[in-house]
A and B are shown apart, each in its own frame.
Chain A
Amino acid sequence: MRFINFINKLDKRWIYLVLALCIIIPFLFPIGFPMKTTAPVKSIYDFIEDSIPEGGVVLIGADYDPSTMAELHPMAKVIATHALSNNLRVLFVTLYPQGAGMAQDVIENVLREWNNSNPDNQKELGKDITLLAYVPGVSAVVLKMGEDIIETFNEDGYGNKLSDLEVMKEIKNYNDIDLMVELAGSAVVLTWLIYANGRYGLNVGIGTTAVSAAEYYSYLQSKQAIGMLGGLKGAAEYENLLSKKGVYWGRKDATVGMDAQSSAHIFFIILIVLGNIAYFVSKKQKGGR
């Protein structure tokens, strides 16, 4: 009974402290929990690997901000790197003002790591990759892109005229885009599924925060989305696929966090079990009185 009372009266700050230790210790002493690749992640990887011809175009939607950067930034890096490794062109697009900064950071990082590791196959901003300028309107922007992408944005995110950029060569509308991967923790994913996939038949992949992942499984089953990266684990799985292919050189932001993630989950399972035991024992005690 003393243990049950201890659980019931435990200051939650001790829980925060133990949780912090559960996360910090695996970074210092990696455990190496096993991790297997799930079908929705493999599906996006395989699509980029096998279904897009050289010179094809991958559109990446960076509709997130620093609050979900930990989960979605690694996804943007791996998909952009994978596309570049297959000599595909990469266009970033954002429907939210904060997404522009996120996309620019990814482009800068990916280009730096790629060019440092591939001196014989340098990639250039404006030739292989760019960010389309932010334009307000969300669904109106997605619909207008189906008619004319250059007319929708006019400029890239760096102030250059899109019509002058080599990366935009022979790109008119969604017919010239091979795959769109939307990275967001909000309902903007649905905008792409409803308008770009529904009306124009664009192949859409989803990269989303773990909070939203459960919600989007139904779109995989209905084949409205070709695949999904759910949370940090989805990004870690993709990093491993790229490492096996030998085309990922940067820090594996998602993979290094998976030991910490597993440790935290074990801690949460223990807390849930203890909490339930304490709840039912306390309830029985009160009922007995």
Chain B
Amino acid sequence: MALSSNFWIWIAAILTLAIYSFLYKDNPFYKFAEYLLVGISIGYGISVYWHNTIITKVFNPLVYDKNFLVLIPLLLGLLMFSRFFKNVAYLSRIPIAFVVGAGTGLSVPSSFEFLFKQVYATMPTKLDIGIIIIVIGVISTLIYFFFSLEHKGFVGRVSRVGITFIMVAFGAAFGYTIMARVSLFIGRIQFLLSDWLGIIK
């Protein structure tokens, strides 16, 4: 057993234990660690945005490369702040319209192409048990979400098959969720036993 002599490992270990102390009951140590995480995350994000956006994408091109075209996105960005002033708040619609327009234009064609690939993948191109299950699953699930017909008779029976597929999907997702949460806990235990306490290699 070789206890860590690294100051920051000790800080991380103490904060980890502070967070897990919530499992016993809510307490000031947990609150402190929680607020610290939120504050540091935001601070870190702002510093990265400042350097990689304001400095790299605006200040440097403008001051050193004399690229005055960046003034256009800069102006659009600044117009977003007009929301804070009631009499000129309407100006913020200009950059929002630009973002929505450009975003929609970019995403619609690609999203359709993306969706068509998914649809194509459900086509029974060969007689295979897996493909048959996929086709039955897709059709019955879609019928379950088709509300223009009353779910009784044939439609009701097919939609019951659909809900079975949905439940299987939920079960798989729930199983994976347990695995994910346990993995996160394992990561912390590994850190405490290895990096901090030195019990395991």
Say yes or no: B179 contacts A257, CB within 8 Å: no
Given A135-B52, A136-B53, A223-B121, also A68-B176 (CB < 8 A): no
Task: Find chain B residues with CB under 8 A from A219 CB.
Answer: 118
> A231 to B52, Cβ gap below 8 A?
no
Instruction: Say yes or no for B154: interface residue by CB 8 A criterion.
Output: no
Query: Inter-chain contact count A-B, CB under 8 Å?
Result: 142
Closest residue on chain A to residue B111 by CB atoms:
A194
Interface SS of chain A: helix, strand, loop or mixed?
A: helix
**A146, chain B: closest CB distance, angstroms:** 11
Distance, CA A16 to CA B45, complexed state (A): 33
**Residue on B nearest A220 in the bound complex, by CB:** B121
Q: Are A27 and B193 neighbours in the complex by a CB distance under 8 Å? A: yes
Contact pattern, A 247-258, Cβ under 8 Å of B = 1, otherwise 0: 000010100110
B117 contacts A222, CB within 8 Å?
yes
What is the CB-to-nearest-CB distance from B13 to chain A, in angstroms, rounded to a whole number? Answer: 14
Partner among A24, A210, A265 whose Cβ is within 8 Å of the Cβ of B177: A210
Residues of A within 8 A of B49 (CB): 97, 136
Q: Which of B56, B114, B180 contacts A198 (CB 8 A)?
A: B114
0/1 interface trace, chain B 41-63, chain A, CB 8 Å (1 if under): 10011001100110011000000
For A15, the closest partner residue in chain B by CB is: B23
Q: Contacts of A279 on B, CB cut-off 8 Å?
A: none
B4 within 8 A of A: no
Residues of chain A with a CB closer than 8 A to B2's CB: none
- Contact of B103 with A by CB under 8 A: yes
Say yes or no: A136 contacts B193, CB within 8 Å.
no
For window 18-70 of B, CB contacts with A under 8 Å fall at 23-24, 41, 44-45, 48-49, 52-53, 56-57
A209 touches B180 (CB 8 A): yes
Interface contact B186-A198, CB-CB below 8 Å: no
Complex CA–CA separation, A28 to B190 (angstroms): 11
**Does B72 belong to the interface (CB within 8 Å)?**
no
A97-B45, A97-B48, A198-B114 known; A265+B193 contact, CB < 8 A:
no
Does B89 touch A at the CB level, under 8 Å?
A: no
A91-110 vs B, Cβ < 8 Å mask (1 yes, 0 no): 00000011011000000000
Tell me, yes or no, whether B200 is within 8 Å of chain A by CB.
yes
Which residues from chain A contact B103 at a C-beta distance below 8 Å?
139
Confirm or deny: A69 has a beta carbon within 8 angstroms of a beta carbon on chain B.
yes
Asked if A198 and B200 sit within 8 Å, CB to CB, the answer is no
Of all chain B residues, the one with the shortest Cβ separation from A251 is B201
| B178 within 8 A of partner (CB) | yes
Cα A70 to Cα B195 in complex, Å, equals 14
Flag whether B101 is at the interface (Cβ < 8 A).
Answer: no
Which residues of A have CB within 8 Å of B52?
Answer: 97, 133-136
* Bound: A233/B113 CA distance, A: 32
CB <8 Å contact, A101 and B44: yes
Q: Is B75 an interface residue (CB 8 A)?
A: no
CB distance from B2 to the nearest CB of A (A): 15
Q: Using CB atoms, name the residue of chain B closest to A267.
A: B182
Task: Give chain B residues whose Cβ lies under 8 Å from the Cβ of A211.
Answer: 173, 176-177, 180
Q: Which of B152-179 contact A (CB under 8 A)?
A: 169, 172-173, 176-179
A binding-site residues for B, Cβ under 8 Å: 13, 16, 19-20, 23-24, 27-28, 65, 67-71, 97-98, 100-101, 133-136, 139-140, 143, 154-155, 190, 193-195, 198-199, 209-215, 218-219, 221-224, 230-233, 251, 253, 256-257, 260-261, 264-265, 268
What are 24 contact pairs spanning A and B, CB under 8 A?
A19-B185, A23-B182, A69-B187, A70-B190, A71-B180, A134-B48, A135-B52, A190-B114, A193-B114, A194-B110, A198-B113, A198-B114, A198-B117, A199-B110, A210-B183, A222-B120, A224-B114, A231-B176, A253-B187, A253-B190, A257-B190, A260-B189, A261-B183, A264-B185
The 5 tightest CB contacts between A and B, nearest first, are A70-B187, A222-B121, A210-B180, A97-B48, A232-B183
- Give B contacts to A, CB under 8 Å: 23-24, 41, 44-45, 48-49, 52-53, 56-57, 102-103, 106-107, 110-111, 113-114, 117-118, 120-121, 134, 169, 172-173, 176-180, 182-190, 193-194, 199-201
Given A71-B184, A211-B176, 9 more pairs with CB closer than 8 A: A20-B185, A70-B183, A71-B180, A97-B52, A143-B106, A154-B56, A194-B110, A198-B113, A251-B201
